[in-house]
Amino acid sequence: MNWVADNIQSFAWFWPEALLALGSIICLLLSAFYRKNVHISFGIATVTLIAYICVGFYHLFFCDSGSSNLFVGHVKLDGLGQLLRVLFGFLGLITMHMGFVHQETRKNIHFEEIPSFLLVITLGMSMMAWANSLLMVFLAVEMVSIPSYILVGIKKSDRFSAEAGIKYLLFGAFASGVMLFGISYLYGIFGSGDFSILMSLLDSSFPMSSMGWIAMSLVCIFCGVAYKIAAFPSHMWCPDVYEAAPSPITSFLSVGPKVAGVALILRILLLWGQNENLSMDQEIGQFLQRFLIFMSAITMTVGNLGALGQVKMKRLMAYSSIAHAGYLLMGLACFSTQGFQASIIYFLIYFFMNVGCFYIIVAMENEYGSDDIQHFTIFAKHFPLVMALMTVFLFSLVGLPPFAGFIGKFYLFSVVIEQKMYGLAVIAAINTAISLFYYAKILKTAYFSGEDTDIQPQTSFSWSISLMCILMAVPTVFLLLQWKPLLTLVEKASASL
């Protein structure tokens, strides 16, 4: 009966997640049986998430968890998981706020069901970041995927949204299948799905004949996870889904699952070693590195080239998010602690700039009912200050100093150079220049054309959108002055990797 005790003890660290599950069930029941007041389920979800974030912060800063396994080894508790838990909590909260201020989403008849799904996805993403066994990997990925299908298609009367939901579902099902195929092979070869057991088996010698099978199963798993982070070869769903999904959901998908997926890949890579002394002499380690470099280079190139011709803002952001998945993979491909840290730093910064962008897209959709880039011409005249913030976010996405995106790029480039992967560095450099073109195109539309008009905006601007934009812009602008706190946080999070 030892495992019972272990499971119960695990809840000492895990009860915030249980809280999320509880909150989500309550919200779901409320939306089914008590539809009079939509604010109640939002209120409950908000309280749950705030509690989740607070506990997350408390655990992160005041409880030294070290690195320990929970639930008989299915879940691994460490700094990275703790950090991401807080990040996902914030993302869930922000998405709910965004849904609340986005008029189109608010008018949706299923509006009150959104919080419940968001809580489940938040839980799933945390599990992805915490997963320590192949079983957990699959469960967590599915836990994120299934509610995502629903949220993407939630505008069910809208043809495109429904199409996107189906498309997302079909691609997702296929990717999950491929991943499960890989997992089953890996399980068959090693006889266990537990990461700590896998690691010890990998350290000891294993038959050379199974090398190819291991490599193949890992490629399958990566392709499955690539679907979550919208990386090559599973990125094709991204533009259609991003365009048709309600903007708050798009914003959520462009950050949450991407970060969780990167964390998951990181966990799998860690099977091949834990520190500087990665066993790169192993054939599979080398194969994996080459595969990741290849994946990263293709992903960023596909994303940036795809974005060049876009005229819809959300579609453009979809391609941009593919490109950023490529950048994130750069750090992972380094196979070193510094590389992993660079990826973590990059997605923390990406969170701010991307969410900031989406707030402005939401504002634009509220104002003009569409996300056509053309609207920025008028938008810049109506709301010059908000457009200035947009400028900041876009330049930050390019990675230009003095904005925070540059710090992320700087770390990524530095680890890649340190690992002597010059080819990848050159490709990433060229990609940065390409990406400038489409981001600058938005600014060109906003500022360079059109005459001065005195048309007043139709609706007044929600103060809470402005506030959130400013909150996102503050770290984006001022991080460069001193980013040591961020570095300390990331080092703390990755200390126990």
Partner 1 sequence: MLSSHILSWMTFTPLLGAVIVLMIPKCFEKAIKIVSLITTAIPLTMAVYLFQHFDRDQVGMQFMERHQWIPSFNIQYIMGTDGISVTMLMLTALLSFLCVIASWNIGKKVKGYFFLFLLLETGMMGVFAALDLFLFYIFWEVMLLPMYFLIGIWGGARREYAAIKFFIYTLVGSVFMLLGFLAIYFWGPSPHSFDMIVLGSQGGILSQGILFGLPMSKVVFLALFFGFAIKVPMFPFHTWLPDAHVEAPTAVSVILAGVLLKMGVYGVFRICYPFFPDAAQWFAPILAILAVINILYGGLCAMNQKDIKKLVAYSSVSHMGYCLLGLAAMTFMGLEGSLFQMFTHGTSTAMLFLLVGVIYDRAHTRGVNDFGGLASAMPKYTFVAMIAFFASMGLPGLSGFISEVFVLLGSFHADAHVIGFDQAFRGQNIFIICTIFAALGVVITAAYLLWTIQRVFLGSLPEKWSTLKDINTRELITLVPLAFLAIALGIYPMPILDLFHKTLSHFSQFLTAGG
- Give the nearer residue to partner 1 in terms of CB position, either 278 or 479: 479
Does 309 interact with partner 1 (rule: CB under 8 A)? no
CA 177 to each of CA 57, 63, 149, 170, 227: distance values in angstroms, whole numbers, following the listed order: 36, 38, 16, 11, 11
- Give the nearer residue to partner 1 in terms of CB position, either 37 or 449: 449
Tokens of 124: 């799933």
Does 426 interact with partner 1 (rule: CB under 8 A)? yes
Residues listed for the chain = 497
Does 414 interact with partner 1 (rule: CB under 8 A)? yes
Cα separation of 173 and 315, whole Å?
Answer: 23
CB of 495 to partner 1, least distance (A): 14
- Give the nearer residue to partner 1 in terms of CB position, either 182 or 339: 339
Whether the CB-CB separation of 296 and 250 falls below 8 Å is answered with no
Radius of gyration of the CA atoms of the chain, in A: 22
- Give the nearer residue to partner 1 in terms of CB position, either 34 or 422: 422
- 75's enclosing H/E stretch is strand 75-77
Neighbours of 478 (CB within 10 A): 13
CA 23 to each of CA 110, 117, 171: distance values in angstroms, whole numbers, following the listed order: 18, 10, 29
- Give the nearer residue to partner 1 in terms of CB position, either 138 or 319: 319
Does 263 interact with partner 1 (rule: CB under 8 A)? no
Does 437 interact with partner 1 (rule: CB under 8 A)? yes
Q: Which of 305, 436, 470, 474 binds partner 1 (CB under 8 A)?
A: 436
Does 480 interact with partner 1 (rule: CB under 8 A)? yes
Q: Which of 11, 61, 206, 422 binds partner 1 (CB under 8 A)?
A: 422
Q: Which of 43, 233, 402, 450 binds partner 1 (CB under 8 A)?
A: 402
Does 311 interact with partner 1 (rule: CB under 8 A)? no
Does 432 interact with partner 1 (rule: CB under 8 A)? yes
- Give the nearer residue to partner 1 in terms of CB position, either 88 or 395: 395
Neighbours of 455 (CB within 10 A): 8
HEC letters along 376-422: HHHHHHHCHHHHHHHHHHHHHHHCCCCCHHHHHHHHHHHHHHHCCCH
| Contacts with partner 1, residue ranges (CB under 8 A) | 395, 400-402, 406, 410, 413-414, 417-418, 422, 425-426, 429-430, 432-433, 436-437, 440-441, 443-444, 447-449, 480, 482-484, 487
